[in-house]
């Protein structure tokens, strides 16, 4: 690989519904299979030496889905957080959740806090799951905080990139080097818009429930072929 391996990979998990429809099954079957793909992918990323993995689990826009599907997704999160924390610890994985917690019920918020607490000393991979997350909302909250903090001191706000980055949910994570989206769709859908300014984007046709190590390896090999210039010209050209 000519470029350094990515320190942070972010994934938009897409295609659960289509996976189910292709089999004549209700959409929730796709989401259930999607949890298996999520577990496979976390393990593969840790094996491949990735330090940070961020997964888009539930967007601020996903509340617009039918109530039964929203309940199914929230139920899967509950089950994952209650049953798989030991697995995360065995694999040295620290779990963090980004997004607006107040959107969730007290029991789900409690499970999130518990999982974060129980995994906080794990060092092999930092797994960040975006739940009730939207990038525009994140940026709006960051700027609001900046203005409110300044108002509290009676000074004009100092608005620059570092001040905004420091107030994002991802303030302690490096920017993603690689963003992957499954299912053949090619868009960011309000995911990590600020942080992905210079990310390499890789789109794979695999529907999320079928995603696994081979897709991650493919995305990494594609990433390895990219020439990352960050807007500059490579000297000697």
Q: Which of 11, 46, 73, 112 binds ligand FPP (CB under 6 A)?
A: 73
Contact 200, 177 (CB under 8 A): yes
Contact 133, 112 (CB under 8 A): no
- Tell me the closest approach of the beta carbon of residue 138 to ligand FPP, in angstroms: 18
Contact 11, 56 (CB under 8 A): yes
Q: Which is nearer to ligand FPP, 41 or 142 (CB)?
A: 41
Active site residue 91: no
Check binding of 38 to ligand FPP (CB under 6 A): yes
Pairing of strands 8-12, 52-59: parallel
Write down the H helix ranges in 1-105: 16-22, 27-47, 67-83, 85-90
Active site residue 16: no
Q: Which is nearer to ligand FPP, 61 or 148 (CB)?
A: 61
Q: Which stretch binds ligand FPP (CB under 6 A): 34-42, 115-123, 141-149, 158-166?
A: 34-42
Kindly identify the residues of this chain, within the stretch 155-214, that bind ligand FPP according to CB under 6 A.
183, 208
Q: Which of 62, 122, 175, 190 is labelled catalytic? A: 62
Kindly identify the residues of this chain, within the stretch 45-64, that bind ligand FPP according to CB under 6 A.
57, 62
Kindly identify the residues of this chain, within the stretch 114-143, that bind ligand FPP according to CB under 6 A.
129
- Assigned token pair, 168: 């994002």
Q: Which stretch binds ligand FPP (CB under 6 A): 29-37, 156-164, 189-197, 213-221?
A: 29-37
Q: Which is nearer to ligand FPP, 114 or 229 (CB)?
A: 114
For 8-34, give the secondary structure using H, E and C.
EEEEECCCHHHHHHHCCCCHHHHHHHH
- Tell me the closest approach of the beta carbon of residue 17 to ligand FPP, in angstroms: 2
Contact 198, 230 (CB under 8 A): yes
Q: Which stretch binds ligand FPP (CB under 6 A): 70-78, 86-94, 149-157, 215-223?
A: 70-78
Q: What's the rounded Cα separation, in Å, for the pair 123 and 21?
A: 39
Residue located via tokens 């539930």: 58
| Catalytic residue positions, numbered | 14, 62
């Amino acid at each position: 690989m000519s470029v350094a391996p990515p320190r942070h990979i972010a994934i938009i998990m897409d295609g659960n519904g289509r996976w189910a429809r292709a089999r004549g099954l209700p959409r929730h079957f796709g989401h259930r299979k999607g949890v298996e793909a999520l577990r496979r992918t976390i393990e593969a990323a840790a094996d491949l030496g990735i330090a940070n993995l961020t997964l888009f689990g539930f967007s601020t826009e996903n509340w617009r889905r039918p109530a039964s599907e929203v309940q199914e997704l929230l139920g899967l999160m509950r089950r994952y957080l209650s049953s798989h924390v030991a697995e995360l610890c065995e694999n040295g994985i620290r779990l963090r959740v980004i997004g607006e917690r107040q959107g969730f019920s007290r029991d789900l918020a409690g499970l999130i806090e518990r999982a974060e607490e129980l995994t906080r000393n794990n060092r092999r991979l930092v797994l960040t799951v975006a739940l009730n997350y939207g990038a525009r909302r994140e940026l709006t909250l960051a700027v609001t905080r900046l203005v409110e903090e300044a108002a509290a001191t009676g000074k004009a706000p100092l608005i620059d990139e570092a001040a905004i980055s420091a107030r994002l949910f991802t303030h302690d994570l490096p920017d993603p080097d690689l963003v992957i989206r499954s299912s053949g769709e090619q868009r960011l859908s309000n995911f990590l818009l600020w942080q992905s300014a210079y990310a390499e984007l890789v789109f794979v046709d695999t529907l999320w429930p079928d995603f696994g190590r081979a897709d991650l390896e493919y995305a990494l090999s594609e990433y390895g072929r990219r020439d990352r210039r960050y807007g500059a010209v490579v000297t000697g050209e």
